[in-house]
Amino acid sequence: MEIGSFIELQLPKGMEYYNWTDKTARLNTGRSALLYAFRCTGCKAIWIPIYQCDSVRDTFLKNNIDIRFYHIDSKFNPVDLKPNEDEAVMLVNYYGIMSNSRMKELASLYKHPIIDNCQGFFNNPIITNSIFNIYSCRKFIGVPDGAYVIGENAGQFINEYPQGYSSDTATFLLMRIEYGCEGKGYKARAINEHRIDNEGIMKMSLLTRAILDGTDYSLIKRKRRENFQTAHTLLKNINCIDPLIYYDNNTVPMVYPLVVEDDNLIDRLFEVKHFQGHWWSYICDEQPKDCFEYWLSRFVIPITIDQRYGKAEIEYLCDIINRK
Q: Around Cβ 221, how many Cβ atoms within 10 Å?
A: 18
pLDDT of res. 271: 87
| DSSP-assigned beta bridge partners for residue 116 | 92, 134
CATH topology of domain 217-322: Aspartate Aminotransferase, domain 1 (3.90.1150)
Cβ(227)–Cβ(309) below 8 Å: yes
CA-to-CA dists, residue 262 to 108, 168, 255, angstroms? 38, 41, 19
pLDDT of res. 324: 65
Q: Around Cβ 226, how many Cβ atoms within 10 Å?
A: 16
Distance CA 304, CA 177 (A): 18
* Domain assignments of the chain as residue spans, ordered by start: 24-164+199-213, 168-197, 217-322
CA-to-CA dists, residue 75 to 246, 266, 293, angstroms? 9, 24, 12
Distance CA 276, CA 281 (A): 13
CATH topology of domain 24-164+199-213: Aspartate Aminotransferase; domain 2 (3.40.640)
What is the full per-residue pLDDT of the chain (324 aa) written as tens digits?
Answer: 788 878 888 889 999 999 877 799 999 999 999 999 999 999 999 999 999 999 999 999 999 999 999 999 999 999 999 999 999 999 999 999 999 999 999 999 999 999 999 999 999 999 987 899 999 999 999 999 999 999 998 999 999 999 999 999 999 999 999 998 888 989 999 999 999 999 999 999 999 999 999 999 999 999 999 999 999 999 999 999 999 999 999 999 999 999 999 999 988 888 888 877 889 999 999 999 999 999 999 999 999 999 999 999 999 999 999 986
How many secondary structure helices (H) and strands (E) does the chain include? 11, 9
